[in-house]
Amino acid sequence: MNFEEVVQQEKKEYDLLFSEKNAVLIGSATCGNSAGAQIAKKAIESEMENSEHVVEIIEVGCIGLCYAEPIIMVSKPQKPAVIYGNVTKKVAREIAKSHLINDIPLPEYALGSWGEGYIDGITPLLEQKSMKMQERRILRNCGFIDPTNMGHYLAQGGYAGFMSALEMDSSEIIEEMKKAGVRGRGGAGFPTWMKWQFCIDSDQETNYLVCNADEGDPGAFMNRSLLESDPHSVLEGILIAAKAIGAEKAYIYCRAEYPLALERLKIAISQMTMRGFLGENIQGSGFNLEIIIKEGAGAFVCGEETALMASIEGKRGTPRTRPPFPTTEGLFGKPTVINNVETMASAAFIMQKGADKYSELGTTESKGTKTFCLVGQVKNTGLIEVPLGTTLKEVIFDIGGGIIDDGEFKAVQIGGPSGGCIPAQHIDTSIDYSSLIGVGAMMGSGGLVVMDQSTCMVEVARYFLEFIQRESCGKCVPCRLGTKQMLDILTDMTTGKGSEEDLKLLPDLAQAIKKGSLCALGQSSPNPILTTTRFFMDEYEAHIKDGVCPALDCKDFIEYTIDAEICDGCMVCLKSCPVSAITGSKDEIHVIEVETCVKCGTCLDLCKRKKNAVKLVDAK
């Protein structure tokens, strides 16, 4: 069978799943599994065992609505499918009995319907605000295909992009990337085509390709989700890039903290080999490629390209000065292109659907879509994809549904530790490379951490500095010692020991570290301080001058107390206090002894759901 015939056959089989079969798709990426996807799966299996209905149960990736995990999709022949959320064991059984066996969908558990037609009481997912604003292109297959079945990817038009790339020479492929205007999705936003061109121009015999899947930014999991849900889209991009730069060896550097992503990558690679998409003479074209997976061993700095290469070579992952850039002198001294996971998947999209299709979305200088992880104090946490140029407000309030418990929006942290915190007055900022830099942040890899009034911005800055200081590789002095100094100052401030002199010292220190550090980790390490002092100076001053944490977040500034008007003496907090700091007896008002209390928050957590009598107050 030739490629077209294989695709036709796979497509037919995939379509049968929805047109003639009873199918259940279970979201079983890391988020789904941690929320209980496997329990839901077992419940459905055991319920169906006793019926004469045949049902095909398929584990798929993440559809992106992580807040509602576990998520399952139920499809009956010739009807729109229904996507259910928060599927506990009990709900899964009900769904099996009602929808799968008796053909009665259950709107009370449904998140939305999928496919043509309507079901009473269930709004199609694509007509809902949270989905309407999105353009799922890179994530188009996530949640709809079995990531361990290469046939599903082929049925969606997969590898057609690579097949056309096989017919093209390097310059034609690079031209297509240039036309699309795709920029590196790892954070820096360097034009992808240019990187590929530099590598070819270096004019050496051996070139390497590296796919950077060392997603270390806290608050970001786009790459994990994509690798777990649609690994072949990344692998197709790798094939295309390798073909363009003439590499015969490609490395995927993936974090060991992502065991499921690694497992699915390995399965995908073995399927590619079996079907003649890897190895020698791929699809009879004479093009050879070997893909090697390297597991990162837990060092944030290895996301930096020169450190990453050192790590692949078996060394300590310390960065080196650039130039020479990896495209001239990279892995094992050879010209090397290093591209992010999402960039690779974008290359596959561009070659499948065309450069014009890719660049129809976005702004003049920031083309296409970008995936983001919407997390923190926002209602609909999850993985989203929007055209560049969408505003932060649209993302947080329209797609994210606003702040949890109808709280007040305070700031959104974008771009990881090197990024910045954007406050409410700039919430209309457009998400594109230059607008974000304009407000002191950066695109970064795609983490969006939403913060409400309960988050202290001085503490957030301290948190990031603690992270950066821990991850500093120690090679250059400004970063090694400077980050420690900044951290010490911030720790003083959040524990009531801050001084006004320190506050004045911070900007000087920040400038010196920015100028003197070797790599981006050190150079951007003052960013958390620079953006929070720019927009939240009042909070810094409150800590230092008034001895108050306005957010009631920093432990040394707060106390827990019980409101005597509300407390009904139910004993719940008293019994669960780990240090027995609460006194009182049944039906009598309880009191927290300040001297004994360790401020763990257990009582508040428990009472919130009952009487809400435990309060956080300013220790003054």
Partner 1 sequence: MQDLDKILSNYKGEKSDLIPLLQDIQSEYGYLSEELMREVSKFTGVPESEIYGVATFYTQFRFNPKGKKHIAVCSGTACHVTGAQQIIEGMERHLDIKDGETTPDGEYSLESVGCLGCCALAPAAMVDDEIKSKLSLRSIKKLFRGYNPEKPSK
Q: Which residues bind to partner 1, rule: CB under 8 A?
A: 30-31, 33-35, 66-67, 69, 215-221, 224-225, 256-259, 294-295, 297-300, 311-318, 373-377, 381-383, 413, 416, 447, 449, 451, 455, 460, 463-464, 467, 471, 473, 576, 578, 598, 600-602, 605-606
Report, in this order, helix, strand and coil percent for the chain, each rounded to 5. Answer: 45, 15, 35
CB of residue 376 vs partner 1: minimum separation in angstroms?
A: 5
Q: How far is the CB of 221 from partner 1 (least distance, A)?
A: 4
Q: Which residues pair with 336 in a beta bridge?
A: 208
CB neighbour class for 97 (10 Å; exposed up to 12, middle 13-18, buried from 19): middle
CB 307 within 8 A of CB 318: yes
Please report, for residues 9, 371, 372, the alpha-carbon distance to residue 138 in angstroms, rounded to integers and kept in the order given: 24, 8, 11
CB of 521 to partner 1, least distance (A): 13
**C-beta of 317: minimal distance to partner 1 in Å?**
6
Decide whether 55 or 614 has the Cβ nearer to partner 1: 614
A 10 A CB-CB count for 323 gives 8
Task: Write down the residue that tokens 């406050």 correspond to.
Answer: 423
3-class secondary-structure state, position 406: helix
Please give the helix or strand (H or E) that residue 571 lies within, else none.
none
Q: Least CB distance from residue 198 to partner 1, whole Å?
A: 24
- Please report the sign of the dihedral spanned by the C-alpha atoms of residue 401, residue 403, residue 407, residue 410: negative
Residue 57 burial class via C-beta count within 10 angstroms: exposed 0-12, middle 13-18, buried 19 and up? middle
Q: How far apart are CB 515 and partner 1 at their closest, in Å? A: 26
Residue 420's SS3 state is: strand
Under 8 Å between Cβ of 293 and 250: no
Quote the least distance from Cβ 314 to partner 1, whole Å.
4
CA angle 524, 529, 531 (to 5 degrees): 85
Are 159 and 243 spatial neighbours (Cβ–Cβ below 8 Å)? no
**Whole-angstrom distance, CA of residue 597 vs CA of residue 601:** 10
User: Least CB distance from residue 66 to partner 1, whole Å?
Assistant: 3
Q: How near is the Cβ of 573 to partner 1 at its closest, in Å?
A: 11
**Cα dihedral sign, 216-222-228-231:** negative
